[in-house]
Amino acid sequence: MEDVILVVNCGSSSLKVALFSPRLQHLAGALAERLGQPDAKARAGVDKVHVPLPKNANHEDALAALIRHFEEQRLLTRQPLAIGHRVVHGGEAFRAPALIDAEVLEAIEDCTSLAPLHNPVNLTGIRATQALFPDVPQVAVFDTAFHQTLPSKAYLYGLPRRFYDDWGVRRYGFHGTSHSFMLTESARILNKPESETSIISAHLGNGCSITAIRNGKSVDTSMGLTPLEGLVMGTRSGDIDPGLFDFLRSRGIDGEALSDLLNNDSGLLGLSGSTNDMRTLIRQADQGDRRCADALAVFCFRLARYIGAMMASLDSLDALVFTGGIGENSDRVRKDTLAPLGLLGFSLDSGANEKHGRDSKHHIEHSNSRFPVLVVATNEEAVIASAALAQSC
Ligand code: AMP
């Protein structure tokens, strides 16, 4: 059995692990969900084989069970070469992946106030993996790092300056591993050096963000201090009027209930009243469900506005790139989003747009489009594996 790189991605109640070869081939994956609850469960591989977990299994229990499963399947026959961890918030301390030592752990802890739901659980994953593999180099890969090149005009809020100076309140941006992968892939497809490639990258999954990349550097992005800002998402509101908070307080919605509303009950789910799944939403909209039709329209219009807004940070554009579960698979969303942007010169080839997913040509623009439009499958785990390998050598 060859050497492997282990990738660990801890969510608040979930754990994803994957094994990659040193040539970055995906070898195996597994997912544990509902951690901390009586019905915690785990599945591994493309066949989704059930992996037994103890009742109320936590992240440590799940990690141990999934590693044991890989060992039993002889997918892991010796210690991994390196381990890569997704870490959500690196604040201003991290501009690149970091080899984990006591100082790095402390710096990740210091960023906890900026991502209280994510960083503690990322640290749990790191510590649990360190306990299992104390001699293997471990690398933290930050969602925020790629956006540390944002200029101050793009990251400062219109708030008293002391909020930034004293507390670090600014726009950080997220999905950095996906957007940086879009840069690498677009440069390859367009046959240009990354440092001369300028794109608008739209990552549309359950979470959604869009980034302007100028000559290989992130210069504007739609997510902010937290991953709540920007586009309408599966269950997150994206941009709203902050004056809404006073109004909702007067209706008794405040504190945790407010956070829950904006993070978990808004976006496509809130607008449609029934689903955050784009496939279901489109099907119901086409069957005449008015709320689903409105949700789809709001999603695409917000995205179109942001594509226009990203132009303000670029002096040339090599391609608009779609990725994520929705961006890669929904020709309808791509079509409805670009329909109002004819003034900017975007034009789709409807055949190429509909066919995408069944060929691997990436290009979906019409020959008269001012800019190329690409569809590219994201692979955040491969980016983390690659960074882990690079940093640990
Ligand atoms: P992700 O978070 O990247 O896994 O993306 C999840 C989103 O992608 C969900 O809203 C899915 O409904 C959506 N999605 C996946 N496949 C399709 C498809 N064929 N058409 C439309 N949306 C899709």
Ligand 1 binding pocket includes 234 (Cβ within 6 Å): yes
Contact between 140 and 92 under an 8 Å Cβ cutoff? The reply is no
Tokens of 40: 């915690």
Pocket test for ligand 1, best of 175, 279, 378, 379 (most atoms within 8 A of CB): 279
* Angle value at C-alpha 246, between 89 and 209, nearest 5 degrees: 30
Amino acid 1: pLDDT: 57
Quick: pLDDT tens for 109-118.
Answer: 999 988 888 8
Distance 391 CA to ligand 1 centre (A): 32
pLDDT value, residue 356: 77
Low-confidence residues of the chain, pLDDT below 50? none
pLDDT digits (tens, 9 = 90+) for 194-249: 999 999 999 999 999 999 999 999 999 999 999 999 999 999 999 999 999 999 99
Is the distance from the beta carbon of residue 205 to the nearest atom of ligand 1 less than 6 Å?
yes
Model confidence pLDDT, tens digit, residues 290-340: 999 999 999 999 999 999 999 999 999 999 999 999 999 999 999 999 999
How many whole angstroms from 201 Cα to the centroid of ligand 1?
17
Q: 340 burial class (0-12, 13-18, 19+ CB within 10 angstroms)?
A: middle
> Cα–Cα distance between 24 and 3 in angstroms, integer?
11
- 354: Cβ below 6 Å to ligand 1? no
* Residue 130: per-residue pLDDT: 96
Q: How far apart are the CA of 279 and the centre of ligand 1, in A?
A: 7
Task: Say how many Å lie between the CA of residue 267 and the centre of ligand 1.
Answer: 14
Integer Cα distance of 241 and 262 in angstroms: 12
Residues paired with 204 in a beta bridge: 208
**Do 323 and 203 touch, CB atoms closer than 8 A?**
yes
Active-site amino acid positions: 143
